[in-house]
Amino acid sequence: MSLIALKIRVAAILAGLGIAVLAALIILGVSSYFFGVLPTSGFFILMVGIVFVMDFIQYLISPYIIGHMYHLRPVDKNNPSTLWLQESLEKVCELNHQKVPELYIAETDMPNAFAFGSILAGRRMAITGGLLRILNRDEVEAVMGHEIGHLKHHDIALLLAIGLIPTLIFYFGYSMLFGSGRKNGGSILIVAVALIAISFVFNIMILGVNRMRESYADVNSAKTVPGATDNLQTALAKIVSYSSATQGRHIFRRKTATSSLSSMLMFSGDSDAKAYDHVAVLQKWRTMKVGIKDSIFSDHPHPAKRIQVLERIKEENLSK
């Protein structure tokens, strides 16, 4: 593992742990001070239980909902026209020492790919028809390496777990605001509003964790799939250029804009690539400086940052 990959992994783990610890301290302190009880009280246990059950049920059934929403069809292993897709996935999984997930094709022109699944549905990967039309086989395999990275590092479960934290804080503040806060007023109302505000701050922090996981998925592809440092760059430039040039004309973008699925896409969000000229866009990204304001509210790193990380990995490999 390269130094870049190690730093990204450690940063992601520390960020996740930091969010969990800070959230636990806030809830413990507020509930103890204002209610005189520890968070093991019946009210808090009930609230945690309800939120957990709702999220867990959503996690279990989401693969089936996704399959219906995006018209996913399993890749036919006996169809000569798609046989190469299954062979490529098996190759990438072997390089990553991972079991082969179920592979699906999403019937949409928007180029993208995503990993998803649950303990009920198993691990799955979807590639859109639009992606297959603009990428060659090597580029598709590089994208597969990215998505296998998500499955390999259990990113779906990680994001589900840390995503519970701001939800709990929000509902805790909401219940204080419209429950005991209306009766007691004063400081209870202030704390309730503060907790709701803190939940939004935590959501921003979680976006940061997701950006780190996306970077690590890129690193995984670059370190395990031969030629992926170049092929993933080209694939990303093609995906973003085509997506930007056709922005707003495809239902896939509209559906995923407010969906939790967007955090697992190969690319999510807007960019400055306004024309389908991926070569020029890629060249620009390699030297482009990206400020915090360009990505702080995004669940994916700015494409320029992703390209520059891949460039550094390529330089490291050349220097060995």
Give the DSSP letter string of 217-260: HHHHHHHHSTTHHHHHHHHHHHHHHHHHHTTTS-HHHHHHTTSG
Q: What is the pLDDT at residue 75?
A: 94
Q: E strand or H helix at 120, and its extent?
A: none
Which tokens sit at 202? 């935590």
Q: E strand or H helix at 74, and its extent?
A: strand 72-74
Q: What is the pLDDT at residue 52?
A: 81
Q: What is the pLDDT at residue 80?
A: 87
Q: Which residues are catalytic?
A: 147
Q: What is the pLDDT at residue 152?
A: 92
Q: What is the pLDDT at residue 188?
A: 72
- Separation of alpha carbons 280 and 225, rounded Å: 25
**Closest CA relative to residue 12, chosen from 149, 126, 196, 119:** 149
- Separation of alpha carbons 22 and 45, rounded Å: 19
**Closest CA relative to residue 222, chosen from 137, 103, 100, 308:** 308
- Using CB atoms within 10 A of its CB, is residue 228 exposed (0-12), middle (13-18) or buried (19+)? buried
Coil, strand or helix: which one is 123? strand
Q: Give the contacts of 81 (CB within 8 A, at least 6 positions apart).
A: none
Q: What is the pLDDT at residue 30?
A: 67
- Using CB atoms within 10 A of its CB, is residue 97 exposed (0-12), middle (13-18) or buried (19+)? exposed
pLDDT in tens for each of the 320 residues of the chain? Answer: 555 666 676 677 667 767 766 776 676 676 666 655 555 566 667 777 777 888 888 888 989 999 988 889 999 888 888 899 999 999 999 999 999 999 999 988 889 999 999 999 999 999 999 999 999 999 999 999 999 999 999 888 888 878 777 888 888 777 777 765 455 556 677 777 888 888 888 888 888 888 888 999 999 999 999 999 999 999 999 998 887 766 544 445 444 433 455 555 666 655 554 556 888 889 999 999 988 877 788 888 999 999 999 999 988 877 76
293 DSSP assignment: G
